[in-house]
A and B are shown apart, each in its own frame.
Chain A
Amino acid sequence: MTAGFQGRCWRFGDDLASDQLIPPQHVFEYDPAVLRRHLLAEVRPELPERAKPGDVLVTGRNFANGSHHSHPFLAMKEMGVGLICQTVSRGPFRLAVFVGVPLLVAGPEVIAELNDGDALQVDFAAGRIANETTGREFQVEPLSPFLQDIVAAGGGLNHARALLEAEGSAHAER
């Protein structure tokens, strides 16, 4: 998984719903370049314009609850941002891995020390979070190496193709 993320902290609270991440009227849109323009636009209108690769979205409990759509994660991957959540349920957790968005789950004591606008340095592979603005550092449990491989491959289907090619299988044809 991409180790070095260096960028701005975009801080959000608890219960950020899937439909708030990308409004449901865009459910038939699958172009990541279009979807990224809608990511969190209703919650933080400046985010789609200003977020840069290496930035990190930091959220409270129950991230991306509700509808089970891959759209917000496609937009995040296109943007090149990472994700640190206090809690995230099975559906969005799996979607983040499947789409290939780097993810850490951190306790409330860590989340409380990450403020909107802080400069962060995050090593997703090692689970290290450095807040350069406050000078504080945190260690959390990284994704298992197994899931990091999927994220590093760029998501589930890229990973599947790589596995099939490695196995010399005729299943994958370019």
Chain B
Amino acid sequence: MFPSTPATMAEKILARTSGRERVEPGEIVWATPDLVTTPEVSFPAYVARLRQNGIHRFAKPERVVVAIDHEVPVHSKEGAERNRRTRLLARETGVGHLFDGEGITHPLVVERGLVRPLDFVAAADTHTPSLGGVGALGVPFSIELTMILALGRIWVKVPETVRVEITGRCPPGVTARDLVLATMAEVDADLANYRVIEFGGAAVEALTVPERMTLCGLCIDMGAKSAVAEVDERCAAFLAARGVFGVEPVRADPGCRYAAVVTIDASSLTPRVSVPPNPTHVRAVSELADTAIQHAYIGSCASGTLAELTAAADLLNGRTVHPDVQMLVIPATKRIYQQAMETGVLARLSAAGAMIAPPTCGPCFGGLAQLAAGEARISTSTRNDPGRMGSRDAIIYLGSALTVTASAIAGRIADPRDYLPAHTRETAP
């Protein structure tokens, strides 16, 4: 055998899932997703559309995950009917997994050990690139998921890759969210479009797997097709604890071709916040000091991890939420909810004045806890387009769980470093 052409992470994944020795950026291949995910807000509509077109069976139903996650617990008659149809159709079509209120799809499929490094995952929902945190390529396909359900495969134009090398180490108070917001400053929509962001470097290796999922998941909001992190022993250990065994480290091959290489030094970063009208509008938290907020939210597929809930409780450390602020906390999955209950984290957050809700996407897209005109929320969720969380005249800021917690205490956007204990905090293992 000749040595194969050096490949990026994304090229390795698309070569494997298209049954090819190698793939070249720009060529179009049929790729077979290892997993196909759809939430209840899309699934019944997709099945109806397929049936209208004379297609009554899924090609690979065992690879399909249906998750009731957008409206949990259901709070509308339409939603109740949609859920009833979802449960019925999931049985009729024989899908591999129906998760009914178990958590938000993207963190849930990782938690349940359904995703391996180098998997190709096709999703109806936009934020599937978070699966890049375990070295998988998650790509959103929206309505084209119908074609994937029918055929079990989909055409994919092999993307170029932009390598983002994050060196150094995050200073205290700087998190994965701040890393991705810093990346947005370096990689604009023109550079990101139709490309995959590949993360590596010492600062990425120092992140936990859930933190890497935050880093990759938010890359869709800079316009990238997807994002993926290299796979190391830490990732292998994380997956083994979730029943995924035999994972070997995977890196891009030396000498592979990138559309661009961007280097960021984590040591020089400070906490930052996305301001309207979209997540790529990023400012240093210090520039927004004294901006009043009435709502604070920790949750969504990009957050709501046990480590973040714990960090929020630790930052509160006996302090309470500002009397003018409604703080809402939503663990991303039911298991995280249970763990946070067992460790006392939910009790501490509740005692500090936060409201705890069951796992759901809810507030992120305005399905729950809507905002009125003139109100402002700081949130760990994914997007801040006008109208996304209720009134078009409400303002949404996006930041890390630490920044959201500090702001909830202060009643205005606040720098979490002002609330950290005196001794330096290290990233949790």
A interface residue numbers (CB < 8 A to B): 68, 70, 89-91, 94-95, 98, 144, 146-147, 150, 156-161, 163-164, 170-174
A68 touches B142 (CB 8 A): yes
B28 touches A173 (CB 8 A): no
Q: Is B54's CB within 8 Å of the partner chain A?
A: yes
A173 touches B54 (CB 8 A): yes
Within 8 A of A (CB), among B133-148: 141-144, 146-147
A89 touches B55 (CB 8 A): no
The docked-state distance in angstroms from the alpha carbon of A164 to that of B147 is: 11
A89-B194, A90-B194, A147-B28 as given contacts; A156 in contact with B57, CB under 8 Å: no
7 A-B pairs closest in CB distance: A160-B150, A156-B147, A157-B53, A171-B57, A90-B194, A160-B147, A173-B56
Chain A min CB distance to B63 (Å): 15
Q: Which B residues lie within 8 Å of A150 (CB)?
A: 155
> In terms of DSSP, what is the predominant structure of the interface of chain B?
mixed
Kindly report which residue of chain B lies nearest to residue A157, judged by CB atoms: B53
A95-B143, A98-B144 as given contacts; A161 in contact with B28, CB under 8 Å: no
Kindly report which residue of chain B lies nearest to residue A149, judged by CB atoms: B155
The answer, among B150, B193, B223, for a CB contact under 8 Å with A171, is B150
The docked-state distance in angstroms from the alpha carbon of A79 to that of B373 is: 40
Q: Is B49's CB within 8 Å of the partner chain A?
A: yes
Interface string of B386-404 (1 = CB under 8 A from A): 0000000000000000000
The answer, among B28, B57, B147, for a CB contact under 8 Å with A146, is B28
Q: Which A residues lie within 8 Å of B150 (CB)?
A: 157, 160-161, 164, 171
Q: Is B355's CB within 8 Å of the partner chain A?
A: no
The docked-state distance in angstroms from the alpha carbon of A160 to that of B53 is: 9
B55 touches A164 (CB 8 A): yes
Q: Is B50's CB within 8 Å of the partner chain A?
A: yes
B49 touches A157 (CB 8 A): yes
The docked-state distance in angstroms from the alpha carbon of A157 to that of B54 is: 9
A161 touches B53 (CB 8 A): yes
Chain B min CB distance to A149 (Å): 10
Chain B min CB distance to A103 (Å): 14
19 contacts between A and B (CB under 8 A): A70-B143, A89-B193, A89-B223, A90-B194, A90-B225, A91-B142, A95-B142, A95-B143, A98-B147, A147-B28, A147-B155, A156-B144, A157-B146, A160-B55, A160-B150, A161-B55, A161-B150, A171-B59, A172-B56
Q: Is B151's CB within 8 Å of the partner chain A?
A: yes
Q: Which B residues lie within 8 Å of A90 (CB)?
A: 193-194, 225
The answer, among A89, A98, A146, A161, for a CB contact under 8 Å with B143, is A98
A146 touches B155 (CB 8 A): yes
Interface string of B136-178 (1 = CB under 8 A from A): 0000011110110011000100000000000000000000000
Kindly report which residue of chain A lies nearest to residue B195, judged by CB atoms: A90
Q: Which B residues lie within 8 Å of A157 (CB)?
A: 49-50, 53, 55, 146-147, 150
The docked-state distance in angstroms from the alpha carbon of A150 to that of B28 is: 13
Q: Which B residues lie within 8 Å of A156 (CB)?
A: 144, 146-147
Q: Besides the contacts A146-B28, A161-B150, what 15 more A-B pairs have beta carbons closer than 8 Å?
A: A91-B142, A94-B144, A98-B147, A156-B144, A156-B147, A157-B55, A160-B53, A164-B150, A164-B151, A170-B57, A171-B55, A171-B58, A171-B59, A171-B150, A173-B56
Kindly report which residue of chain A lies nearest to residue B387, judged by CB atoms: A24
Kindly report which residue of chain B lies nearest to residue A158, judged by CB atoms: B53
Q: Which A residues lie within 8 Å of B155 (CB)?
A: 146-147, 150
Chain A min CB distance to B330 (Å): 25
| Centre residue among A147, A158, A163, A172 by max chain B CB count within 10 A | A172
Q: Which A residues lie within 8 Å of B146 (CB)?
A: 156-157, 160
Q: Which A residues lie within 8 Å of B194 (CB)?
A: 89-90
Q: Which B residues lie within 8 Å of A164 (CB)?
A: 55, 150-151
The docked-state distance in angstroms from the alpha carbon of A161 to that of B223 is: 32
| Centre residue among A94, A95, A159, A173 by max chain B CB count within 10 A | A94
The docked-state distance in angstroms from the alpha carbon of A98 to that of B150 is: 14
Kindly report which residue of chain B lies nearest to residue A163, judged by CB atoms: B151
The docked-state distance in angstroms from the alpha carbon of A90 to that of B157 is: 10
A172 touches B193 (CB 8 A): no
Q: Which B residues lie within 8 Å of A174 (CB)?
A: 54
The answer, among A89, A160, A171, for a CB contact under 8 Å with B56, is A171
B28 touches A160 (CB 8 A): no
